[in-house]
């Protein structure tokens, strides 16, 4: 008898680690060296965590043997609370903060606690696809609003508004954005908050890249503009503090919590069911947020991340038929392949063909719920030499490629 996956997974996909990755693993087993520009995992590219974080986790290991409170250690949640005070988010208390095994776990919990079958959630296209997957897994209907490449990938507010129905429960913002690198202006955020206000929508604001900002970009926490709207703000240590493997994240609830007691009870049930987040990693939070912010050095002029962003962006735009909006934050570029120059009908096949021919792994745009097969994402984490090699291979490959 065949054992089948549940119907709940019928519309759930997470193609960043999808079928093409299996081919890459097979090639590696056969002895090929694959240049990997597919996953935003800083450590393998030589971005190491601040030493003080590692030392504090090691030092606290003996006291981290038991479960913690379901929401997390008091000291870590206090540090997160202070973080939101600095970011001008009003009224976040220690009780409003939940620590999780990465933001990923909390995204799934937040959706599972909120959605009934058929409830709609507005999600950006392109998105970080866990958001779409989590809504689908929870019985909800992901409804994608377009981000406008011509407008620096800012959300198209008219499209967002047009997609609100009586079933819309919430909207998702990813700022700074994965995969586009957009960092939203105060005006855009205010417009989105106003939509949420008018239509009684919960705001989920994924701000995991809030410290990875280039040039003159400034990050504004959505919740700081929305004291009267229920906001869940997500963040963690994976990116800015380069400890993705620690699986350490948090969500902070702000706004009219008295109107969301039942939802909060739902979150508590789910937090209790998973007992607690990994306790040794919780010890990293206070040190990270309170310590020297070494990420700032990486995004300054001459900083490694900024140099790599600059070079990747230049090289991508040098490829005939490829154009790329300059990423203002995060760790990615999301270029377009002009269909008139190189028509691609199936971008997963394109990415697989590129892998097989050039031994280079990137991710197709449709994996980010982008509706057309004309984009791809690269991470800007590799050193400049590797970026030059990788993007050079993309240029060569596209010259002779047709589908």
- Pick the closer one to ligand PLP by CB: 128 or 350: 128
In the bound complex, which residue of the shown chain has the CB atom lying closest to ligand PLP? Answer: 102
> Closest distance between ligand PLP and the C-beta of residue 357, in Å?
27
> Closest distance between ligand PLP and the C-beta of residue 377, in Å?
11
Looking at the DSSP bridge assignments, the partners of residue 206 are: 174, 234
DSSP result, 88-147: T-TT--GGGEEEEEHHHHHHHHHHHHHPPTT-EEEEEES--THHHHHHHHTT-EEEEEEE
> Closest distance between ligand PLP and the C-beta of residue 352, in Å?
22
Angle, CA of 158, 331 and 31, to the nearest 5°: 125
> Closest distance between ligand PLP and the C-beta of residue 16, in Å?
8
- Pick the closer one to ligand PLP by CB: 104 or 278: 104
> Closest distance between ligand PLP and the C-beta of residue 316, in Å?
20
> Closest distance between ligand PLP and the C-beta of residue 403, in Å?
29
Long-range contacts at 152-160 (CB < 8 A, ≥ 24 apart): 152/182, 152/325, 152/328, 153/177, 153/180, 153/181, 153/182, 153/325, 153/334, 154/182, 154/184, 154/185, 154/188, 155/124, 155/184, 155/188, 155/192, 157/188, 157/191, 157/192, 157/195, 160/122, 160/192, 160/195
- Pick the closer one to ligand PLP by CB: 169 or 242: 242
CA distance 381 to 319: 20
- Pick the closer one to ligand PLP by CB: 43 or 54: 43
Taking every pair of Cα atoms in the chain, the longest distance, rounded to a whole number of angstroms, is: 61
- Pick the closer one to ligand PLP by CB: 238 or 308: 238
Residues that bind ligand PLP (CB under 6 A): 40, 102-104, 128, 174, 178, 206, 208, 236, 238, 244, 249
- Pick the closer one to ligand PLP by CB: 263 or 332: 332
- Pick the closer one to ligand PLP by CB: 15 or 206: 206
CA 292 to chain centre: 24
CA distance 184 to 174: 9
> Closest distance between ligand PLP and the C-beta of residue 23, in Å?
21
């Amino acid at each position: 008898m065949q054992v089948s996956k549940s119907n709940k997974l019928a519309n759930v996909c997470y193609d960043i680690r999808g079928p093409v990755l299996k081919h890459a693993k097979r090639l590696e087993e056969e002895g090929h060296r694959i240049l990997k520009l597919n996953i935003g995992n800083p450590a393998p590219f030589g971005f190491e965590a601040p030493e003080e974080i590692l030392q504090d986790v090691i030092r606290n290991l003996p006291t981290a043997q038991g479960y913690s409170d379901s929401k997390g250690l008091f000291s870590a949640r206090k540090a997160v609370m202070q973080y939101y005070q600095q970011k001008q988010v009003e009224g976040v208390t220690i009780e409003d903060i939940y620590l999780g095994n990465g933001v990923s776990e909390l995204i799934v919990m937040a959706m599972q606690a909120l959605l009934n079958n058929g409830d709609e959630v507005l999600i950006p296209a392109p998105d970080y696809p866990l958001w779409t997957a989590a809504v689908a897994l929870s019985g909800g209907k992901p409804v994608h609003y377009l981000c406008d490449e011509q407008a620096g990938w800012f959300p198209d507010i008219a499209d967002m508004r047009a997609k609100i129905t009586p079933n819309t429960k919430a909207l998702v913002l990813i700022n700074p954005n994965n995969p586009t690198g957009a960092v939203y202006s105060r005006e855009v955020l205010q417009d989105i908050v106003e939509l949420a206000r008018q239509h009684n929508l919960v705001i989920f604001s994924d701000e995991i890249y809030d410290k990875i900002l280039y040039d003159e970009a400034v990050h504004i926490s959505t919740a700081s503009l929305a004291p009267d709207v229920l906001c869940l703000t997500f963040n963690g240590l994976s990116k800015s503090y380069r400890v993705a493997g620690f699986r350490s994240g948090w969500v902070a609830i702000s706004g009219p919590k008295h109107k969301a007691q039942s939802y909060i009870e739902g979150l508590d049930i789910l937090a209790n069911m998973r007992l607690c987040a990994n306790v040794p990693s919780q010890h990293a939070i206070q040190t990270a947020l309170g310590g020297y912010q070494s990420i700032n050095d990486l995004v300054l002029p001459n900083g490694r991340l900024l140099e790599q962003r600059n070079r990747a962006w230049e090289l991508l735009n040098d490829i005939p038929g490829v154009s790329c909006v300059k990423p203002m934050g995060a760790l990615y570029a999301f270029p377009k392949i002009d269909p008139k120059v190189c028509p691609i009908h199936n971008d997963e096949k394109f990415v697989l063909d590129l892998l097989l021919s050039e031994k280079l792994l990137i991710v197709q745009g449709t994996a980010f719920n982008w509706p057309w097969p004309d984009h791809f994402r690269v991470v800007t984490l590799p050193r400049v030499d590797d970026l030059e090699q990788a993007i050079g291979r993309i240029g060569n490959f596209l010259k002779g490629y047709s589908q």
